Structure 1
């Protein structure tokens, strides 16, 4: 079963998204900086200029 979530500013959700974003950056040869990735995602959510969807496989 796959569960889709739209999440807001919950700590665990931001951490999950930051890990994915850091992995994305690393894939494209950029620095894997989870701190900066988390900051970027936090800012997008605070400004409400992004919606993030993550699918979790259970």
Structure 2
């Protein structure tokens, strides 16, 4: 599976793979990855606004 497909699944832009493993560790890892992607996107938006204001 490609990186962009995985990111799309994390952000609920694409359906999840029905053959993907479903245990607690994988769910927890995907949750942490989702939080880190969202925080990264938020930081990029804040940096863009700061750069555009100056």
Query: Hey, which of these two has a bigger chunk of strand by percent?
Result: 1
Name the larger-Rg structure. 2
**Could you tell me the TM-score, scaled by structure 2's length?**
0.37
The structure with higher relative contact order (CA 8 Å, sep 6+) is 1
